[in-house]
């Protein structure tokens, strides 16, 4: 079987085209436009570049954009007050705080200040809870993007076995619940048990979010499986892949590598899609997932 | 091999003794944990659960009050009652007995309980925290299962736990609890359900097998590998004319056959059942401590 390396740009392009078509259709029904609020604290160059990129994409689609720049010295109260202003502003249906926040701040409190109905990055605990209970909420953008990738690969999810190799589960835990909701059986491997290779070989969808570079070997893979390599960033030394790509590529049917950080181009596309969902919700329209 | 029986009655008694000591200590500091229970309608099963919660509270020296509302009470009225309990410092824990009548939204009612006082652990904020591994009240039945395992010498750490069933009250939260990096957890966890083609393919991999499907005899001996620890969460009412009540209780596991292969097994009744109320009492005591710390 020829192995496919899934191409993020190709998948993103398809979703983007869908967003453009939906906006086109919406413009016939309403003269309002979707709006996205962004809160940036400090002047981290990577954060500013990411914000510019998000702004550019939103403007290109005709979204209303409201960016609030706060100094690195801003207090938690200052930031929450800005978030509350955006919560109340009906021109923005989605909003988020750009991460990372300065370390002196209580990130949890700030993320929880965002109105869960506008939390298009899916970071509020209520949206995590909704994912768990199977209710409609916002998926974190990178998890949403992985679900798109899996669907794009073209295999039905129902009845498949998904195995998540992950210590902390930042991405794979919510991803597992999203897969469970689509009727996959899911195994979480938070520990490196002796029979890990055996457990991996049961996987139709194998998700590697491990801090051990090159942990997963070719003979751990069920022939034809789909492999998602999340990797983890390690002390600015770049990204470490959890799989031995050369070996795994011989056995898997397709491999997708999630770029580091929360701001991959595909994740930004999903942010825009979530904002569009939020906009449609406030217009009282049905959501299309 | 014939399995050792894990007695939920005994483990529950042990935990209640511990709680009784903690409540006595708290009272010396002037803190009295209090549980507010809201019961809508007259469903006999619900009444029996609520009664055992009240009895358990008294047993460990806690304050308890059940607010009974008629089955046709408007949703708004239920929310008002919860609002009162949220504000009343006598109550450290609030529980709304489920199921609720159809005209009342469970999601709305649960979401109305103050997350700090949500001792069932069903409030979306607490569910989200559980998923992320942040401190939160653990849902009672899965927490009880974890305690049964840990206290019977079957620490799940490093074991492969297969959970059959993905309900929001047992399967999913149990998976979330057991995969955390924490004492009594740190397991490899698989969740299987009706979407799977062949459930026995998964159950045979289990070091610890949790049956939470709600179907009598769903787990048969051929689905279990030799030496597995089997926890039966199912509570099914089987019609039985020889009983005064007209039914007997059965779990999801074919107990007689499976106990010949398992290393440990829980009976129904007397297994997971007594643990659920006990962990509710535990959550109420914990909530009282947290609320007092401000």
| Superfamily the domain B140-273 falls into | NAD(P)-binding Rossmann-like Domain (3.40.50.720)
Q: Token match 């825009």: residue? A: A272
B260 has a pLDDT exceeding 80: yes
Please report residues of A whose CB lies closer than 8 A to that of B133: 168-169
Q: Is B53 in the active site? A: yes
The residue with tokens 């580091």 is A260
Of A108, A185, A199, the CB nearest to B191: A185
Chain A: residue nearest B129 by CA? Answer: A125
Helices (H), chain A: 8-29, 45-60, 76-88, 107-113, 125-133, 141-153, 172-181, 196-200, 245-251, 265-282
- Listed in sequence order, the residues at least 6 apart from A238 whose beta carbon sits closer than 8 Å to its beta carbon are A260
Q: Which of A47-61, A167-181, B256-270 has the lowest mean pLDDT?
A: A167-181
pLDDT at A235: 43
Closest chain B residue by Cα to residue A169: B132
DSSP letter at A140? Answer: P
Per-residue pLDDT band at A136 (split at 50, 70, 90): confident
Residue B80's CB is within 10 A of a number of other CB atoms, namely 12
Q: How far is A199 from chain B (nearest CA, A)?
A: 9
**Greater model confidence, A153 or B57:** B57
In chain A, which residues have their Cβ closer than 8 Å to the Cβ of B132?
125, 128, 173
Q: How buried is residue A69: exposed, middle or buried, by Cβ count under 10 Å (0-12/13-18/19+)?
A: middle
Give the pLDDT confidence score for residue A263 in this predicted structure.
79
Query: How much is the pLDDT for A237?
Result: 52
What's residue B154's pLDDT? 97
Q: Which of B31, B60, B36, B6 is nearest to B282 (CA)?
A: B60
Tell whether the model's pLDDT for residue A154 goes beyond 90: no
Residue B120 among the catalytic residues: yes
Q: Tell me the pLDDT band of A289, cut-offs 50, 70 and 90.
A: very low
Collect all residues of chain B within an 8 Å Cβ-Cβ radius of residue A189.
Answer: 188
Instruction: Report which of residues B119 and A264 the model is more confident about.
Output: B119
Residue B163 and residue B175 in contact, taking contact as beta carbons nearer than 8 Å: yes
Query: Residue B17 catalytic?
Result: no
Query: Over the range A192-211, which residues count as b (16 or more CB within 10 Å of their CB) and which as e?
Result: ebeebeebbbbbbbbbbbbe
For A236, counting Cβ atoms within 10 Å of its Cβ (0-12 exposed, 13-18 middle, 19+ buried), the class is: exposed
* Domain ranges in chain B with CATH number 3.40.50.720: 140-273
Residues A220-262 pLDDT 10s: 999 999 999 987 655 445 566 888 888 999 999 999 988 766 6
Sequence ranges of chain B with CATH classification 3.40.50.10860: 30-116
Greater pLDDT, B294 or B156? B156
Helix (H) / strand (E) containing B240: none
pLDDT, tens digit (0-9, with 9 covering 90-100), for A20-29: 999 999 999 8
pLDDT of residue A160: 95
Q: Which of B113, B130, B131, B184 to mutate to test the interface with A (most CBs of A within 10 A)?
A: B131
Give me B231's structure tokens.
Answer: 């926890």
- Tell me if the domain spanning B30-116 has CATH number 3.20.20.70: no
- For the entire predicted model, the pTM comes to 0.86
Confidence of residue A219 (pLDDT cuts 50, 70, 90): very high
In our burial notation (b when 16+ CB lie closer than 10 A, e otherwise), range A71-104 reads eeebeeeebbebbeebbeeeebbbbbbbbebeee
| B222 close to B188: Cβ distance less than 8 angstroms | no
- Spatial CB neighbours of A25, under 8 Å, sequence gap ≥ 6: none
Please provide the DSSP assignment of B189-239 as one string.
EEEE-TTSS-HHHHHTT-SEEEE-SS-TT-B-GGGS-TT-EEEE---EEEE
Residue B294 to residue B265: CA distance in whole angstroms:
41
pLDDT of residue B204: 97
Mean pLDDT of A93-122: 93
Please tell me the predicted confidence (pLDDT) of residue A2: 58
**Dihedral of the alpha carbons of A164, A166, A170, A172, in degrees to the nearest 10:** -10
* Cβ contacts from A onto B, under 8 A: 106
ipTM of this complex: 0.75
Which member of B117, B118, B120, B146 is catalytic? B120
B191: contact with A, CB 8 A cutoff: yes
Domains defined for chain A, CATH in brackets: 28-116 (3.40.50.10860), 141-257 (3.40.50.720)
């Amino acid at each position: 079987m020829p192995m496919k390396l899934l191409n993020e740009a190709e998948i993103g392009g398809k979703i983007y085209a869908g967003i453009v078509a939906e906006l086109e259709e919406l413009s016939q029904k309403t003269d309002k436009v979707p709006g996205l609020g962004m809160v940036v604290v400090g002047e981290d160059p990577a954060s500013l570049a990411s914000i510019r990129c998000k702004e550019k994409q939103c403007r290109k689609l005709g979204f209303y954009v409201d960016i609030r720049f706060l100094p690195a010295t801003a207090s938690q109260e200052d930031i929450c007050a800005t978030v509350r202003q955006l919560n109340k502003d009906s021109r923005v249906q989605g909003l988020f705080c750009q991460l990372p926040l300065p370390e002196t701040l209580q990130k949890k409190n700030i993320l929880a200040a965002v109105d869960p109905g506008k939390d298009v990055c899916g970071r509020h605990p209520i949206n995590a809870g909704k994912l768990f209970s199977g209710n409609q909420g916002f998926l974190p953008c990178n998890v949403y993007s992985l679900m798109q990738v899996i669907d794009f690969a073209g295999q039905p999810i129902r009845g498949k076995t998904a195995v998540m190799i992950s210590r902390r589960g930042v991405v794979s835990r919510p991803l597992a619940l999203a897969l469970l909701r689509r009727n996959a059986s899911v195994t979480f491997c938070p520990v490196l048990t002796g029979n890990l290779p055996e457990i991996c070989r049961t996987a139709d969808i194998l998700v590697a979010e491990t801090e051990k570079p090159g942990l997963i070997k070719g003979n751990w893979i069920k022939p034809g499986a789909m492999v998602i390599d999340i990797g983890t960033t390690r002390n600015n030394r770049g990204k470490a892949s959890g799989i031995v790509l050369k070996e795994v590529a011989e056995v898997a049917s397709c491999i997708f590598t999630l770029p580091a950080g929360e701001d991959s181009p595909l994740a930004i596309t999903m942010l825009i899609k979530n904002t569009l969902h939020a906009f449609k919700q406030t217009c009282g329209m049905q959501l299309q997932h | 091999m014939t399995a050792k029986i894990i007695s939920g009655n005994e483990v529950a008694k042990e935990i209640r003794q511990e709680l009784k000591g903690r409540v006595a200590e708290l009272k010396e500091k002037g803190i009295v944990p209090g549980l507010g229970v809201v019961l809508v309608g007259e469903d006999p099963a619900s009444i029996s659960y609520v009664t055992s919660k009240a009895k358990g509270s008294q047993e460990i020296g806690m304050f308890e009050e059940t607010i009974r509302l008629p089955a046709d009470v408007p949703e708004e009225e239920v929310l008002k009652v919860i609002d009162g309990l949220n504000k009343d410092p006598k109550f450290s824990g609030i529980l709304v007995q489920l199921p609720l009548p159809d005209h009342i939204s469970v999601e709305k009612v649960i979401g109305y309980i103050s997350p700090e006082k949500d001792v069932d652990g069903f409030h979306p904020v607490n569910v989200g925290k559980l998923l992320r591994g942040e401190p939160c009240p653990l849902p009672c039945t899965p927490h009880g299962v974890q305690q049964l395992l840990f206290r019977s010498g079957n620490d799940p750490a490093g074991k492969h736990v297969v959970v059959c069933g993905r309900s929001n009250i047992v399967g999913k939260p149990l998976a979330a609890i057991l995969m955390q990096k924490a004492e009594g957890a740190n397991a490899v966890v698989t969740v299987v359900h009706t979407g799977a083609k062949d459930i026995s393919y998964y159950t045979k991999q289990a070091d610890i097998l949790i049956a939470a499907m709600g179907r009598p005899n769903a787990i048969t001996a051929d689905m279990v590998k030799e030496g597995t620890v089997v926890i039966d969460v199912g509570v099914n009412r089987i019609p039985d004319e020889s009983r005064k009540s007209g039914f007997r209780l059965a779990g999801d596991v074919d107990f007689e056959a499976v106990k010949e292969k398992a290393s440990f097994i829980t009976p129904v009744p007397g297994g997971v059942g007594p643990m659920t109320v006990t962990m509710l009492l535990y959550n109420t005591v914990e909530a009282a401590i947290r609320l007092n710390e401000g």
